[in-house]
Structure 1
Amino acid sequence: MRMLEMTLAALDLLVLIYFFVIGKSTSSRKTTNMLIGAGLLTFPVLQLLLEGYRWQLIPLYFVTLILLASILLRLFRPVPIFKKRRILRYISGLALSGLVILSAVLAAALPVMDLPKPDGADAVGTVTFDWTDGNREETLTADPGDKRELIVQIWYPAEKSSGEPQFLFPQDPQIFHNYISAFAEGLHLPAFALDYWKYARSHSFQDAPVLPSPKPYPLVIISHGLGTSRMLHASQAENLASHGYIVAAIDHTYSTAATAFSDGRITGFTTELSAEDIYDKARVIGEIWTQDVEFVLNQLDSLNAGRIESDFTGKIDMNNTGIMGHSFGGATAYNAAYTIGKIKAGINMDGTLIDLDRDQLNKPFMFLQSDDSANMAEALDDPAVPEEIRGRISKELKIARHVIERGGQSIHIKGTAHFNFTDLQFYSPLIKYLGMTGSIDGYRGAYLVNRYVLDFFDKYLKGGAGELINRPHADDPEIDFQKL
């Protein structure tokens, strides 16, 4: 809960104790009642003005109004109209206390997100581009004249700013409503359930000037998972940017939960995958995403060369480019590293590979594995697993072994599940009970992911020593270097 929310809930509980426990003679304590009334009026107004309304607090607002009305009655009608029985007074007090507790539980279970702060020395700026690839037909829509259009958000080292960090989600009321409606539809929720997302802030500053540097900054591309969003990798992007990287995260249109374009249009998830042809369709979608990466790299090259007007001219080190992705985006990172010569190194965060029949990758690469992925080899000896699946697992393990032999890594972070490699773990503690995140504390898990991602890119894009990824460390007992 936010500070004023907690204050209001505590005030209501104290007033309930005053009314229903201290009891009888309170109606004669005019000064005390006036002070309580002032508090019950002031704190809700401050909370609404400074923090903003959210639906989780409706029971709390209701209790506050009831208590305020009761105080006014005490002040202006000091003699009760009728005398309540003690049992009714206690039932009323318990019911109202229950509503306060209900609000507190809802607010804690569905909190305003608090992303981890970047731990680098640099402030972080961000800017978003809406780019259309005029040379590529959009194959995920029925419109034959449609071209592939992408939203790309860039984070970068920035000059210090005295303003407020930008909000995480669009702030235009209509765009925001349409945006969360698309997200909510995928989650089978009413749109109002996600309305409180509008209060979530990042740790980056919109359009802040790029921090001057004697040499350009290395570049990292981020590719999200199927049906999620670039928004789920904001904290990873911010952390890298705070350590001297330019980071570009792509929304792969029609494969996100929602994408908001610069003209207010919203697209949702319309990518069709079925169990019957999942591998064939996955290859097609994977190729589209890999082409997205290549197009974005060309656009970033144009930014750097000054062909597109921006503050990035001469500030992107296109010769030191890496890529990372989660889930399907992790598979895309592997494909892009394999097919795009500009990419020097890549990271796959808990993603199953798509194309398993290529020659081996001969670039630095790292796999970050959840508990389930780390135990994948066990399926090879399980007769209940279909032969086709066991064959794919065998090929995937062979690829991972080759990566390790070439100096790369396959690292299992103990206690993690699939979405511990995204910011989804900060959206609600309930995520853990749905099995989407593991037993590890979310902030600890994010710290470890950021720590090893940074060390990997520092080694291969900045010429660092790679102190973390070269060997186990006692400070990180959750890290397991896999031999496969």
Structure 2
Amino acid sequence: MKKTVAATVLALSASLTPLGVTPADAAVPVPVPVTALPAPAGEHPVGRTDLHLIDSSRPDPWVAGRNVRELMVSIWYPARRAAGRPAPYLTPRESESMIRSVPQLKDVPADTLARTTTHARADAPALRRKGGWPLVVLSPGMTLPRATMTSLAEEFASRGYLVAGIEHTYESLATTFPDGRTVTFEAGKAGQTPETGAKVARVRAADTEFVLDRLDRSKRWNRLIDERRIAMVGHSVGGQSAAHLLPTSKRIKAVVNLDGTYNPDTPAKPLDKPFMMIGNPRHQPGPGGQDGSWNAFWPHVTGDWKRWLTVTGAEHMSFVDHAVLQPQLGLSEAPTDGERSIKITRAYVTAFLDLHLKGERRPLLDRPSADYPEVKFW
């Protein structure tokens, strides 16, 4: 997890500056950016539905006096046809919170991200499959909404997965509910300590199990899900939380951690199920790596199938939508092109899911590939 909210939203750091802007250009009007996500490459059109779920069995862990835990969940799924309007990326209030968090975007219209082009259709008719579709649960990074994993969600759904993206309320910069309320970030304001990290992992585990329970009890979604085949993919704190959940969950069969630092860096139990972690070069082992938590965590990964990969030229946000949205907003980008970063992440995570949820062998995971020379196996 990052030390401040600003450090995690759209890769907020002092090093991010609008491309090509100099003091002499300061008076030049800033063009309104057009933001769009890359199209998914699978054979199925994609639908999306948003769910408002209320867990009345527990109080909210982040806000005193909230006697229930409210969550927003997006479901992406293979659709019978591409019918209806495109699903919105963010609500206008969520977009405003994201845009106004970045000083360099002060002249960008607040609703810019709400107008981002996506490729799922809102409430499109779902395509049924005998036995249901394998389920992939997505958990975003701290302060980041579930929408930031849309490029992955649409790809997975287009390739025959049902995907549930969880908005961990008060851990996102802004969350809008169907009644129009927008709540903001509260978790971890006192600092990112091992105790906070452990609490976040517990909260997200409870959120995930609750969502799985509700999907299992839903007449609509139960018939679309193969409950024997469930995996979880998380970015940043979502990745580390998924890793901590893997050995204790009876339903999660496999996990991918996308660039998540472990905090704490030791799991309660060894991970003996399929597990893959993909990160930027700061996560590589040995003297070249700057994040020692991956070295500390790795000995506790004891399953027969495991992978530790790093991507040359990647940064923390290279594995989610920010990889393509940052340059579209005029912010400096990672050394690796954003479209390329998303392509790499889609390829390796989809291969992992195909292998462990569908039983389809994927040689891409066996050794380095000439198609993706940026990816190093450790």
**TM-score calculated relative to the size of structure 2:** 0.86
User: 2:52·2:177 contact (CA, 8 Å) conserved in 1?
Assistant: yes
1:224 matched residue in structure 2: 140
User: Is 1:237 the counterpart of 2:237 in the alignment?
Assistant: no
User: 2:52·2:178 contact (CA, 8 Å) conserved in 1?
Assistant: yes
1:154 matched residue in structure 2: 75
Tell which has more relative contact order, 1 or 2 (C-alpha 8 A, sep 6+): 2
Could you give the per-residue CA deviations for residues 240-280 of structure 1, whole angstroms, max 9, x where no partner exists? 000000000001000001111111110111112445x6111
2:182 to 255, 266, 274: 266
1:298 to 202, 213, 232: 213
1:372 to 255, 277, 282: 282
User: Is 1:314 the counterpart of 2:226 in the alignment?
Assistant: no
Give the aligned residue type for 1:249.
G
User: Is 1:477 the counterpart of 2:378 in the alignment?
Assistant: no
Q: What is the CA–CA distance in structure 2 between the aligned matches of 1:213 and 1:243, rounded to whole Å?
A: 13
Structure 2: stretches of 5+ with no match in the other structure = 1-24
Give the aligned residue type for 2:300.
I
User: 1:179·1:260 contact (CA, 8 Å) conserved in 2?
Assistant: yes
User: After superposition, where does 1:129-148 map in structure 2 within 5 Å?
Assistant: 129-143=51-65, 145-148=66-69
Q: What is the CA–CA distance in structure 1 between the aligned matches of 2:280 and 2:311, rounded to whole Å?
A: 6
Q: What is the CA–CA distance in structure 1 between the aligned matches of 2:39 and 2:101, rounded to whole Å?
A: 29
- 1:452 to 1:443, Cα distance in 2 relative to 1, 3 A: same
Q: Secondary structure at the match of 2:125?
A: coil
User: Is 1:187 the counterpart of 2:85 in the alignment?
Assistant: no
User: 1:425·1:431 contact (CA, 8 Å) conserved in 2?
Assistant: no
User: Which is helix-richer, 1 or 2?
Assistant: 1
User: Is 1:351 the counterpart of 2:255 in the alignment?
Assistant: no
1:395 matched residue in structure 2: 296
1:280 to 195, 198, 220: 195
Q: What is the CA–CA distance in structure 2 between the aligned matches of 1:334 and 1:235, rounded to whole Å?
A: 22
- 1:359 to 1:199, Cα distance in 2 relative to 1, 3 A: closer
1:121 matched residue in structure 2: 43
User: 2:58·2:69 contact (CA, 8 Å) conserved in 1?
Assistant: yes
Could you give the per-residue CA deviations for residues 265-311 of structure 1, whole angstroms, max 9, x where no partner exists? 10111112445x611111112211111011111111112xx2xxx3x
Could you give the per-residue CA deviations for residues 46-87 of structure 1, whole angstroms, max 9, x where no partner exists? xxxxxxxxxxxxxxxxxxxxxxxxxxxxxxxxxxxxxxxxxx
Q: Secondary structure at the match of 2:47?
A: strand
Q: What is the CA–CA distance in structure 2 between the aligned matches of 1:475 and 1:184, rounded to whole Å?
A: 35
1:340 matched residue in structure 2: 249
After TM superposition, which residue ranges in structure 1, 4 or more long, deviate above 3 angstroms?
Answer: 184-193, 430-434
User: Is 1:408 the counterpart of 2:306 in the alignment?
Assistant: yes
Could you give the per-residue CA deviations for residues 171-210 of structure 1, whole angstroms, max 9, x where no partner exists? xxxxx2x333433454356596432223212100111111
Give the aligned residue type for 1:257.
L
User: 1:186·1:257 contact (CA, 8 Å) conserved in 2?
Assistant: no
Q: What is the CA–CA distance in structure 2 between the aligned matches of 1:453 and 1:147, rounded to whole Å?
A: 34
Give the aligned residue type for 1:439.
P
Q: Cα RMSD between the aligned structures?
A: 2.7
Q: Secondary structure at the match of 1:141?
A: coil
User: After superposition, where does 1:26-41 map in structure 2 within 5 Å?
Assistant: none
Q: What is the CA–CA distance in structure 2 between the aligned matches of 1:359 and 1:258, rounded to whole Å?
A: 33
Deviation at 1:102, TM superposition (A): 4.2
User: 1:166·1:205 contact (CA, 8 Å) conserved in 2?
Assistant: yes
- 1:373 to 1:295, Cα distance in 2 relative to 1, 3 A: same
User: 2:141·2:235 contact (CA, 8 Å) conserved in 1?
Assistant: yes
- 1:357 to 1:194, Cα distance in 2 relative to 1, 3 A: same
Deviation at 1:357, TM superposition (A): 4.7
Deviation at 1:319, TM superposition (A): 0.7
Could you give the per-residue CA deviations for residues 455-481 of structure 1, whole angstroms, max 9, x where no partner exists? 101000001112211222211111111
Q: What is the CA–CA distance in structure 1 between the aligned matches of 2:159 and 2:287, rounded to whole Å?
A: 38
User: 2:282·2:288 contact (CA, 8 Å) conserved in 1?
Assistant: no
Deviation at 1:161, TM superposition (A): 2.6
Q: Secondary structure at the match of 1:198?
A: helix
User: Is 1:421 the counterpart of 2:319 in the alignment?
Assistant: yes
Could you give the per-residue CA deviations for residues 330-387 of structure 1, whole angstroms, max 9, x where no partner exists? 0111122122110100100000123415231000000011122225x3278xxxx9xx
User: 1:349·1:367 contact (CA, 8 Å) conserved in 2?
Assistant: yes
Q: What is the CA–CA distance in structure 1 between the aligned matches of 2:174 and 2:318, rounded to whole Å?
A: 21
2:165 matched residue in structure 1: 249
More displaced 10-residue stretch of structure 1: 228-237 or 264-273? 264-273
User: 1:321·1:461 contact (CA, 8 Å) conserved in 2?
Assistant: yes
Q: What is the CA–CA distance in structure 2 between the aligned matches of 1:335 and 1:191, rounded to whole Å?
A: 41
2:10 matched residue in structure 1: none
Deviation at 1:229, TM superposition (A): 1.0
- 1:151 to 1:220, Cα distance in 2 relative to 1, 3 A: same
Q: Which has the larger radius of gyration?
A: 1
Q: What is the CA–CA distance in structure 1 between the aligned matches of 2:54 and 2:102, rounded to whole Å?
A: 29
- 1:357 to 1:322, Cα distance in 2 relative to 1, 3 A: closer
Deviation at 1:218, TM superposition (A): 0.2
1:328 matched residue in structure 2: 237
Deviation at 1:167, TM superposition (A): 2.6
